[in-house]
Structures are given as structure tokens and as C-alpha cells.
């Protein structure tokens, strides 16, 4: 749907790809579907759900045995995002490094995106 020819919509670090592939194998899923929804103190939150099938409108990214599907309504907001998986003493989980975020709450769970016109203008320059 939305993208630049020859450039993946999102990338995964080796740690993220390994964790996603592990989840796919353990749970017998097709991959993880990522998206965004309204919520949180900054206005939007990431979603990440196990998927058993690929929607024809999903943007599919495969790397090292891992598969991520990007929900159609989220593609413009997630383009250029790097997905990582971090393990710390108190928590572990997926982290999104997204160049389209203009602000985030203190806890990092919710984000605010640049407006659509600004994102479209930036994509036109690439």
C-alpha cells in the first residue's frame, strides 16, 4: 500500500527477528500483526497481535524466519520504524524506534505522530 519501492516498511533487529520467530514457532502462528490505535496519554498506542493469516491488504515484512504484518491503517505511521526486543532486569519486550513520532509520554507506552501532511511531505522527499 504505502511505501517506497525497494525499501522495507519496517526493519527488525536480529534480537526482534529471533523473538518473533520463536513466538511464531511456539504458538503456531503466521506472524505478528502490528498497528496503532487511539489511547494513552500521548494519543496513540502500538498494537501487536499474533496472527493466523495474512490479510491481503497487510504490508508483509519477513526477515530471518520472522514475519510481521502491518495493518493497512497503520502503514503510513509505521514506515521507517525499527523493531527491537530488549531484555532488562525489570522488564522485557518489543521497542519501536519510529521516526514518525513527534512526542511520547514519560513511560514510553503512548506516542503522538507527526500530522499526515507532514508525513506525506517527508515521504515525497525520499
Domains of the chain with bracketed CATH: 10-125 (2.60.300.12)
pLDDT of 116: 56
pLDDT of 1: 46
Give 27: exposed, middle or buried? Use CB within 10 Å, 0-12, 13-18, 19+. Answer: exposed
Coil, strand or helix at 29: coil
Of all residues in the chain, the percent with pLDDT exceeding 90 is 43
pLDDT of 71: 87
User: Among 52-66, 70-84, 89-103, 111-125, which stretch is predicted with the lowest mean pLDDT?
Assistant: 111-125
Quick check: 75 and 1 in contact, CB under 8 A?
A: yes
Quick check: 13 and 84 in contact, CB under 8 A?
A: yes
Over residues 99-103, mean pLDDT: 74
pLDDT(56) > 80: yes
Computed over every residue of the chain, the mean pLDDT equals 82
Amino acid at each position: 500500500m504505502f511505501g517506497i519501492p525497494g525499501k522495507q516498511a519496517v526493519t527488525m533487529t536480529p534480537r526482534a527477528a529471533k523473538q518473533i520467530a520463536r513466538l511464531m514457532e511456539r504458538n503456531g502462528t503466521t506472524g505478528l500483526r502490528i498497528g496503532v490505535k487511539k489511547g494513552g496519554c500521548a494519543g496513540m498506542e502500538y498494537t501487536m497481535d499474533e496472527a493466523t493469516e495474512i490479510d491481503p491488504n497487510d504490508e508483509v515484512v519477513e526477515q530471518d524466519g520472522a514475519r510481521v504484518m502491518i495493518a493497512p491503517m497503520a502503514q503510513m505511521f509505521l514506515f521507517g520504524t525499527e523493531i527491537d526486543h530488549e531484555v532488562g532486569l525489570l522488564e522485557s519486550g518489543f521497542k519501536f524506534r519510529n521516526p514518525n513520532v513527534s512526542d511520547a509520554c514519560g513511560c514510553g507506552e503512548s506516542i503522538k505522530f507527526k500530522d499526515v501532511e507532514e508525513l506525506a511531505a517527508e515521504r515525497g522527499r525520499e
